[in-house]
A and B are shown apart, each in its own frame.
Chain A
Amino acid sequence: MIVAEQKPLDEIRRMLGPYERVLIVGCGTCMTVCNAGGEREVSFLHSALRLAQAKSGDGAHAFSEYTVKRQCDPEFLDALAEKVGDVDAVLSLGCGIGVQAIAERLANVPVVPGVNTSFMGMAKELGVWDERCAACGDCRLEETGGICAITRCTKAILNGPCAGTKNGKCEANKDMDCGWILIYKRLEQLRQLDKMRRYYPARNFRAIPRPRRIVVNKGSIANAGEGNA
């Protein structure tokens, strides 16, 4: 799941400065799950914006709100398109993808991001999310016992641990587990320690050509050239 954090209120207000009529659009999927931009957060932000405006007395913004099921699929945005007829801007509480999807869908309406998209992660417990995948496009989790060396090791090294590990913790952050110690312990438990003895050739560190595109149905996109398939 994609995890994000809502931007500070000040920043949001600064971005919205020029626009009078603003539609706050929530996203009903990842942003709801990570408490950054679901219907509740939309409504809370809506209240906070009105209150801030009343407090500072600057400008007469009019806010409205709407939450779609998922901002990253254009079909969900059709209903949104009908509702933006008279707004000056959309404040999207979707992740970076949602913001862009709305921007692509609404040619004439400026879209402003309300959250900082942080990482792809998992819920550790109530209200705590941890990054787990860097989307490197070259998954080696089989070799490392299901623990990602790229995200769990601060240095993202493939043949760890480095010399900086101390008492199972990372030298960059003494409170954080060393990813490679975790990998070692897990492989030990799985009786696969032989994998630790292997040498893994370096990944292809050539810059990933962005944006990436995956085409499952060949020939379904007419205008090639937008992405690097």
Chain B
Amino acid sequence: MHSAVRDEFHKSRADRFEKSPDHSLMPPCQDACPLHMDVREYVDLVAQGKIMEALQTIRSGNPFPSICAYVCTHPCEEACRRCQVDKPIAVRALKRFAVEFGGDRVIRAEAQTTRQEKVAVVGSGPAGMACAHYLRKLGYPVTIFEAHSELGGMLRTGIPQYRLPRKVLDTEVERLTRMGVEIRTNTRVASLELLFDLGYKAIFITIGAHQGLRLGVEGEESPGVIDGATFLREVSLGLKPSLGSKVGVVGGGNVAIDAARTAARLGASNVKIIYRRSRQEMPADAAEIELALEEGIGIMFLVAPTRIGREKGELAVTCVRMELGEPDARGRRQPVPIKDSEFNENFDTLITAIGQAPQTPANFRIRMGRGSTIQVDPVTLTTNRVGVFAGGDAVTGPATVTEALAAGRLAASRIDDYLQHRYPLTGAGRQVLASDLLPKTVEMIRKTSRLEPPILAPEKRAKDFEPVELVYDWEVAVNEARRCLRCGVGAEILFQDKCATCLMCLRVCPYHVPYLDASGTIQIPADQCLACGICVAECPARAIVLRKPYDRRQITEELEHIFRSGTEPKLNRLVIGFCCQYGLFGTGSLAGLWKRAKAGIRILPVLCVAKVEAEHMLRAFEMGAEGVFIAGCGSQCAREDTASWVSQRVAKVKKTLAEIGLEPERLQTFFPDSTGVDPATELDRFSEQISGLHLATVMKKEVAR
């Protein structure tokens, strides 16, 4: 009977701790991502060396992770709060790493047709592909109609191969086919009525924005002038336009940069970009601009073409210098021509890349908006015609791949709502962590430089269409991922009723995060806490938990697992080691421990040893361990005082061990530094020492769970 009482007490405590809800806030990176990818999660999984799990996480939020791994414009990195400390986490490069090393590119297609209603997707760009993917997962029969000979839309015809290798795209397309999406290439949809007549119950129009905008200057129709989108499309589809040696590119967006770099790869020796504002206003990705400059491409800032003529087989482009005037409604300073500043530039080819617009057939009879984009309801993505939805560049004008994927995913769920006669529920999102870190917090964060993936040397790359950016090696990826501040999973006082306002958390926090509010209540602001877990392990009332249940459950669960598995051979003495998960991986400072660990040594990875409580150490002995060690990652740790916290707890446990009559040397800590002994050697010595001691326990069978 008494054991029932004990169980009840245990259960109630465990329930309160472990079944408490996930209170983590959405970090700024996830909020900034159009797909709301769980960036924090997969970056942390990379840091732990769990690359396959990282890829799983990426896949759960992104239908085509390898595409994004190459071309995402990573708004997450701009939103990253590490910017306040030094540089943001290299999220996209880490995703690329996870995609390359996380396992098979092609996963088993799992989609069964469970619905009757056929859906037509017009256009096969990222929005169309994503929509087809998710509709297929929902069980709908889906057909993609594509005017070109291959799927991919702008992914294939707009993005040069050196940024997105074709085999990557082909793999993703292959996955769609395997999922059972019917694909009709070389099929331009002429009329929506026809599709309805063919039995399609809903249509998703995602025809992109392929029509290059015109400069509106005299002589634009001259031979030798081509628009950027058409140029890139022709190159992508295998044509080799003859450009001559001198190529000008008008525009400052990503298409202009792509066109210029492509021209250089096709052999043009003198490529110049003409942009009417300054570098600061350039909408192209800053890293891409840098790469273009490295490849020898010139950029003329504050210059605009005014007239295009032809002389002696060359294009004579009259340009005018500009200066920046007042900001417009969007805050961009408007360029104003400087009087009498005209000059001439001669080119063999002039590529105009000043923007694109969708070109929606008039007989679709769809209401259009500004810049010939399709007008839709932003929540339902419905057009003015029943059963016709639209998304992607065709609605937004030229935008990013990730935005298109997000539009496709949204369209799939809205089409599902429509076909199932459901009111579209938008649902309240998770609370977003939006605020900046306070200066006093920033000050306490150790600065670490951002690690970039290697790139091909400029002289090697400008000749062909091989991918420019290479993949991280494992060590670098893990170290880069470890820089993540883990915004929004920090500590919270979950059990206010238990909090004795003892101020322990306030006094132990390495970042000065907890504070006393005016009412005398202790507050741990979620937007400042960096989840080191020291207050969680020290709180005498055990009122504090980490906001994400996984983080707080892990150690107890793993210990229980070791206890339950009980597979240790009797001859070997059980030694349990709490080891820093980050240090254990790959080239981490503790990596040798895995390899050298002899039979009987059980390594329990923890997400920072600062989270190992004194009770955990004692519990390990209770489970029958003859020795227990705690190994931190040493100088790799994000915090300097981790070792001192561990040592304090170890001292307390050693005192108790002595009182019990167990040798205190059964408990050891290893904190390798750059000069110190290899932790594996220390472990060898430790396990030798343990085997020299008398068998401590007959405990295993005695200990009540």
Query: Residues of A contacting B1 with CB < 8 Å?
Result: 86
Given A28-B500, A47-B619, does the pair A39, B703 have CB atoms closer than 8 Å? no
Partner of A38, one of B5, B10, B541, B696: B541
Kindly name the residue among B503, B613, B615, B660 whose own CB sees the greatest number of chain A CB atoms within 10 A: B660
Given A38-B541, A44-B615, does the pair A21, B2 have CB atoms closer than 8 Å? yes
Query: Residues of A contacting B3 with CB < 8 Å?
Result: 62
Assess whether B702 is in contact with A40, with CB atoms less than 8 Å apart.
no
Tell me the chain A residues, 34-67 only, with Cβ under 8 Å from chain B.
35, 38-41, 43-44, 47-48, 50-57, 62-67
B213: interface (CB < 8 Å): no
Assess whether A28 is in contact with B2, with CB atoms less than 8 Å apart.
no
Give Cα A126–Cα B699 distance, bound, in whole angstroms: 36
Query: Residues of B contacting A57 with CB < 8 Å?
Result: 698, 702
Assess whether A32 is in contact with B662, with CB atoms less than 8 Å apart.
no
B622: interface (CB < 8 Å): yes
A185: interface (CB < 8 Å): no
Tell me the chain A residues, 1-43 only, with Cβ under 8 Å from chain B.
8-10, 20-21, 23, 28-29, 32-33, 35, 38-41, 43
Query: Residues of A contacting B498 with CB < 8 Å?
Result: 28, 39, 67
Query: Residues of B contacting A52 with CB < 8 Å?
Result: 659-661
Give Cα A138–Cα B504 distance, bound, in whole angstroms: 33
Assess whether A33 is in contact with B502, with CB atoms less than 8 Å apart.
yes
A186: interface (CB < 8 Å): no
Query: Residues of A contacting B621 with CB < 8 Å?
Result: 51
Query: Residues of B contacting A54 with CB < 8 Å?
Result: 622, 697-699, 702-703
Given A38-B500, A47-B618, A126-B508, does the pair A32, B703 have CB atoms closer than 8 Å? no
Assess whether B540 is in contact with A41, with CB atoms less than 8 Å apart.
yes
Give Cα A53–Cα B614 distance, bound, in whole angstroms: 19
Partner of B656, one of A9, A21, A85: A9
- Taking the nearest CB of chain B, how far is it from the CB of A27, in angstroms? 9
Give Cα A55–Cα B1 distance, bound, in whole angstroms: 24
Query: Residues of B contacting A195 with CB < 8 Å?
Result: none
CB closest chain-B residue, reference A8: B659
Kindly name the residue among A10, A29, A48, A54 whose own CB sees the greatest number of chain B CB atoms within 10 A: A54
Give Cα A87–Cα B503 distance, bound, in whole angstroms: 34
Give Cα A8–Cα B660 distance, bound, in whole angstroms: 10
Give Cα A85–Cα B5 distance, bound, in whole angstroms: 9
Assess whether B9 is in contact with A51, with CB atoms less than 8 Å apart.
no
B539: interface (CB < 8 Å): yes
Give Cα A64–Cα B9 distance, bound, in whole angstroms: 7
Q: Using a Cβ cutoff of 8 Å, how many contacts connect chains A and B? A: 109
Query: Residues of A contacting B9 with CB < 8 Å?
Result: 64-66, 83
Assess whether A40 is in contact with B659, with CB atoms less than 8 Å apart.
no
Assess whether B659 is in contact with A39, with CB atoms less than 8 Å apart.
no
CB closest chain-B residue, reference A63: B6
Query: Residues of A contacting B137 with CB < 8 Å?
Result: none
Query: Residues of A contacting B703 with CB < 8 Å?
Result: 50-51, 54
Assess whether B2 is in contact with A9, with CB atoms less than 8 Å apart.
no
Give Cα A41–Cα B652 distance, bound, in whole angstroms: 11
Give Cα A55–Cα B696 distance, bound, in whole angstroms: 7
Partner of B5, one of A32, A41, A87: A87
Given A50-B622, A62-B704, does the pair A86, B5 have CB atoms closer than 8 Å? yes
Given A38-B500, A56-B661, A57-B698, does the pair A33, B540 have CB atoms closer than 8 Å? yes
- Taking the nearest CB of chain B, how far is it from the CB of A13, in angstroms? 9
Partner of B507, one of A55, A85, A126: A126
A169: interface (CB < 8 Å): no
B340: interface (CB < 8 Å): no
Query: Residues of A contacting B660 with CB < 8 Å?
Result: 9, 48, 51-52, 55-56
CB closest chain-B residue, reference A62: B2
Give Cα A214–Cα B69 distance, bound, in whole angstroms: 73
Query: Residues of A contacting B497 with CB < 8 Å?
Result: 69
Kindly name the residue among A20, A44, A85 whose own CB sees the greatest number of chain B CB atoms within 10 A: A44
Partner of B661, one of A35, A41, A55: A55
Query: Residues of B contacting A87 with CB < 8 Å?
Result: 2, 5
Assess whether B699 is in contact with A39, with CB atoms less than 8 Å apart.
no
Kindly name the residue among B10, B502, B503, B696 whose own CB sees the greatest number of chain A CB atoms within 10 A: B502
**Known pairs A57-B702, A62-B2, A126-B504. 13 more at Cβ < 8 A?**
A9-B660, A21-B5, A29-B500, A38-B540, A40-B542, A47-B619, A47-B622, A48-B659, A48-B660, A50-B704, A54-B698, A65-B9, A87-B5
Q: What are the 6 A-B residue pairs with the smallest beta carbon separation, nearest first?
A: A38-B540, A54-B699, A33-B502, A64-B6, A9-B659, A21-B2
